[in-house]
A and B are shown apart, each in its own frame.
Chain A
């Protein structure tokens, strides 16, 4: 099993007036090679779930294992190492550095990981090529369209051959044509063995994923 979530809950500002129960008793098992969509309205807890899966946030209670790593106990170092090599994350706002070029952004995890400049650039170009945006390498992210940014963000997430791709509303800013194109890309990545979890509130996206979950007020339910 790649991911095992058992009775995971997340409460923001517990005990205060602003308390929010973003996740309630979430159980989830993900095998390697799965392609899963999580659908829910705004504020239902999609981002929270993905951030916990990425180790960017910790559950308030419950157990989370990534392969054999107990993510609720793992050190910041260990979680960061996982994010550098195994878990690629595409944030809802893409999380790109707008003043840097697409190439620089894709190089970032490699640079942080201590990969030499030459290797990092070569690797980044290769991934950009695979995403079909090799020609954008030298462009500043701020000058790119939403669909192009989405691909740069995906390229960055996959720059180190991650096993798992977590994409938070990857089609949120895209028109239907670009949405289809991105789903084509994700499908082909999935066919080559990548495990993918996407969150979305777009039914078209959830329909194209083989496995579909819905989330409502922090409660996760299997649909298909």
Chain B
């Protein structure tokens, strides 16, 4: 009780100042939440994917002709290489060869055209990595039309039941399509297990028109519709169950050396991440800058919070309060304000994401956001409280010597 009473005295009576500090802190929380959101979504989706898809990604290999990335070989015309995939499949120890690719298409609809990406999965791929449909959203397919499932985002312009024409890659004969469902879960990215949030992209997954149920949705390659689409030879190669993975990796690597490169999926993804990182350098610099601003925002808040109380600390010290207790009290006080700001921040984040940064759909930040804001706050709390108490003591010492109020 007495501790609360003293804490109450620490509060500055200047309502505006305290309010300003609280507002700053709330903004910082919102800011961190928004910054963390993409990472949070990524990790969430990845977790979801790993839970739903019974593939041991650590054992998987990625085959790619001569280069790490297809888009790094401008000369090589990607074609279907059935013999390469046959050889991969026939190699002892191989369990499956999963082919998939991402394409874009023009869709004609109600006089307008829309651009969409779509994913083509081989039947095998669709069996290993099924897409989840949102429950209750599916309808029956139609003979002579390609059944199509769409993401949440795409469903705004292509609601379930829409009939439309699609030109893969903007050329060739138009393919008649029917939207039969909405994708409810994560979409396994083409030939990696890097997930993408189905909600964020204008993606359509294509289903085989004759597929009886849509548990295995995906663009199962159907020559009736896509006879001109060449397959990308890059593929995900999975071992048979119980195989010695490293031996299989090695012998397969020797055999495929003439056609291309074999990398572990983990290695591939790391390289992909590095490439993405170096490609998005300016955005990362922005991110780091913004994080620094956040850290300094917290720090400055806490620092100020002690500085404005320097005189009160001096008075409390005259009244016999120990430095340790003052330190603890100050921490407690700041923690209280932080909890208040965190609560406010979390309530306001979805609104701020929409209005301030035009983030279309903010999924509330989860554990990561909390860990990040909390961790960041605790770190700066400790650092700046220590720093500001040292400063505050100096200030208090000087305050003690000054005359007048």
> Which residues on A are within 8 Å of B, measured CB to CB?
47, 51, 54, 56-57, 76-77, 80-85, 89, 91-100, 104, 108-109, 111-115, 117, 142, 156, 169, 172
A93–B320 contact, CB under 8 A? no
**Min CB–CB distance A148 → chain B (angstroms):** 13
Binding site for A on B (CB under 8 A): 1-2, 5-6, 9, 13, 312, 314-324, 397, 400-405
The CA of A156 and the CA of B316, in the complex, are separated in Å by: 12
- How many residue pairs link A and B with beta carbons under 8 A? The number is 76
Residues of A within 8 A of B318 (CB): 54, 56, 83, 89, 91, 95
Tell me whether B322 and A47 are in contact (CB under 8 A).
no
User: Could you give 24 example pairs across A and B, Cβ below 8 Å?
Assistant: A56-B318, A57-B397, A77-B322, A77-B324, A83-B318, A83-B320, A91-B400, A92-B401, A92-B402, A97-B9, A97-B312, A98-B405, A100-B9, A108-B316, A109-B319, A109-B320, A111-B5, A111-B6, A112-B6, A113-B320, A114-B2, A115-B2, A117-B2, A117-B5
Inter-subunit contact B1/A117 (CB<8 Å): yes
Whether B315 and A96, one on each chain, are in contact in the complex, defined by CB atoms closer than 8 angstroms, is yes
A83 CA / B319 CA spacing, docked (Å) = 7
Contact check, B397 vs A97: say whether CB atoms are below 8 A apart.
no
Q: Could you say which residues of chain A place their CB within 8 Å of the CB of B2?
A: 111-112, 114-115, 117
* Chain B interface, DSSP helix/strand/loop, else mixed: helix
Contact B403 A112, beta carbon cutoff 8 Å: no
Whether B400 and A99, one on each chain, are in contact in the complex, defined by CB atoms closer than 8 angstroms, is no
Chain B residues with CB under 8 A of A172: 403
Bound Cα distance from A119 to B312, whole angstroms:
24
- Kindly list chain B residues whose C-beta atoms are within 8 Å of the C-beta of A92: 400-403
Q: Once the chains bind, are B400 and A95 in contact (CB under 8 Å)? A: yes
| Interface contact A93-B404, CB-CB below 8 Å | yes
- Residue in contact with B401 in the complex, picked from A47, A89, A109, CB distance below 8 Å: A47
Least CB distance from A113 to B in Å reads 7
Are A99 and B403 closer than 8 Å at their CB atoms?
A: no
**B401:A80 contact, CB within 8 angstroms:** no
B315, A95: Cβ atoms under 8 Å?
Answer: yes
Task: Say whether B321 contacts A112, CB under 8 Å.
Answer: yes
| Complex Cα–Cα for A93 and B396 (A) | 13
Interchain nearest-CB distance for B137 vs A (Å)? 61
* Given A76-B322, A111-B5, A112-B6, A56 contacting B317 (CB threshold 8 A): yes
Whether B319 lies near A108 (C-beta < 8 A) is: yes
Q: How far is the CA of A76 from the CA of B404 in the complex (A)?
A: 27
Q: Which residue of B has the minimal Cβ distance to A48?
A: B401
CB neighbours of A104 from chain B (8 A): 9
- Chain A residue numbers with a CB within 8 Å of B402 are 92-93
Contacts of B320 in A (CB 8 A): 80-85, 109, 112-113
Instruction: Note all chain B residues with C-beta closer than 8 A to A56.
Output: 317-318, 400
| B322 smallest CB distance to A (angstroms) | 4
Task: For the complex, give the distance between the alpha carbons of A142 and B404 in Å.
Answer: 12
In the bound complex, what is the Cα–Cα distance between A84 and B320 (angstroms)? 5
- Is the CB–CB distance between A80 and B321 below 8 Å? yes
Q: Is the CB of B401 within 8 A of A112?
A: no
Q: Is the CB of B13 within 8 A of A99?
A: yes
**Residue in A closest to B2 when the chains form the complex, CB atoms:** A111
Across-interface contacts of A142 in B (CB, < 8 A): 405
Complex A-B, nearest 5 residue pairs according to Cβ-Cβ distance, in ascending order: A84-B320, A83-B320, A109-B319, A99-B13, A80-B322
Given known contacts A56-B400, A57-B397, A109-B319, A95 and B9 CB-to-CB distance under 8 angstroms: no
A94 touches B405 (CB 8 A): yes
Q: Are A51 and B324 in contact (CB under 8 A)?
A: no
The distance from the CB of B36 to the nearest CB of chain A, in whole angstroms, is 39
Please determine whether B312 and A51 come into contact, CB atoms closer than 8 angstroms: no
Q: Which residue of chain A has its CB nearest to the CB of B316?
A: A112
**A57 cross-chain contacts in B, Cβ below 8 A:** 397
Min Cβ gap A102→B in Å is 14
Bound state CA distance, A95 and B2, in angstroms?
20
Q: Are A108 and B1 in contact (CB-based, < 8 A)?
A: no
Report yes or no: A112 in contact with B319, Cβ–Cβ below 8 A: yes
C-alpha spacing A112/B312, complex, angstroms: 13
Partner of B319, one of A47, A84, A169: A84
**Contacts A56-B318, A93-B405, A97-B312; A76 near B323 (Cβ below 8 A):** yes
Closest A residue to B9 by beta carbon equals: A97
User: Measured between C-beta atoms, what is the minimum distance from B174 to chain A in Å?
Assistant: 77
The answer to whether A51 touches B322, judged by C-beta atoms less than 8 angstroms apart, is no
**How far in angstroms is the closest Cβ of chain B from A106?**
10
Chain B neighbourhood of A117, CB < 8 A: 1-2, 5
Separation in Å of the A139 CB from the closest CB of chain B?
15
Q: State whether A93 touches B1 (Cβ < 8 A).
A: no
> In the complex, A77 Cα to B320 Cα: how many Å?
9
Contacts of B312 in A (CB 8 A): 97
**B321: chain A residues within 8 A (beta carbon):** 80, 112
A124 CB to nearest B CB, Å = 12
Q: Once bound together, how far apart are the Cα atoms of A91 and B315, in whole Å?
A: 9
In the bound complex, residues from chain B placing their C-beta under 8 Å from that of A98 are: 405
Complex CA gap A29/B1 in Å reads 41
Complex interface: chain A residues within 8 A of B400 (CB): 47, 51, 56, 91-92, 95
- Which residues on B sit within 8 Å (CB–CB) of A97? 9, 312, 315
